C-alpha cells in the first residue's frame, strides 16, 4: 500500500487544546492500525504540530483518517495537508 504524510500545524497558543485531547489522539493513532510513524513538531521545545505517516490504500482513506483525528475535531489545527510520501532511507 502507498504511504501518506499527514502534516498538521497547530493554531497559535493552542497547547492547552493539544494536551486536553492528547489521550484520544494517541488512541486514534494506536487503534487505526495504519500509522507507521507519528510525532509532534516542536518549536522552543513546545509541541506545535504533528507529522503522521500512514500506510493505507489511497489518498481518500488517508484524508478520512485525518478528518477523524480527535485533534481536528477539537479545533487544534490551523492547517492539515495529506500528501503521498515515498520512503527512501531508513
d(CA 17, CA 32): 22
pTM, whole model, 2 decimals? 0.94
Domain range for 39? 3-85
Cα 76-53-18 angle, rounded to 5 deg: 20
Domain presence at residue 90: no
Nearest Cα to Cα of residue 25 among 14, 42, 39? 39
Residue 50, CA distances (Å) to 1, 31, 56, 88 in order: 22, 17, 18, 21
Tens digit of each residue's pLDDT (9 = 90 or more) over 51-89: 999 999 999 999 999 999 999 999 999 999 999 999 999
pLDDT category of residue 1 using cuts at 50, 70 and 90: confident
Tens digit of each residue's pLDDT (9 = 90 or more) over 16-38: 999 999 999 999 999 999 999 99
- At 90 the pLDDT is 82
Q: Where are the beta strands (DSSP E) in the chain?
A: 3-10, 35-43, 46-55, 77-85
Number of domains in the chain: 1
Please report, for the domain that includes residue 31, its CATH number: 3.30.70.1060
Domain presence at residue 54: yes
Amino acid at each position: 500500500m502507498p504511504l501518506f504524510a499527514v502534516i498538521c500545524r497547530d493554531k497559535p497558543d493552542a497547547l492547552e487544546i493539544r494536551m486536553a485531547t492528547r489521550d484520544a489522539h494517541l488512541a486514534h493513532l494506536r487503534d487505526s492500525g495504519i500509522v507507521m510513524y507519528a510525532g509532534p513538531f516542536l518549536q522552543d521545545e513546545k509541541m506545535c504540530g504533528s507529522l503522521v505517516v500512514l500506510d493505507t490504500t489511497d489518498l481518500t482513506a488517508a484524508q478520512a483518517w485525518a478528518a477523524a483525528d480527535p485533534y481536528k475535531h477539537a479545533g487544534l489545527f490551523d492547517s492539515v495537508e495529506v500528501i503521498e510520501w515515498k520512503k527512501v532511507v531508513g
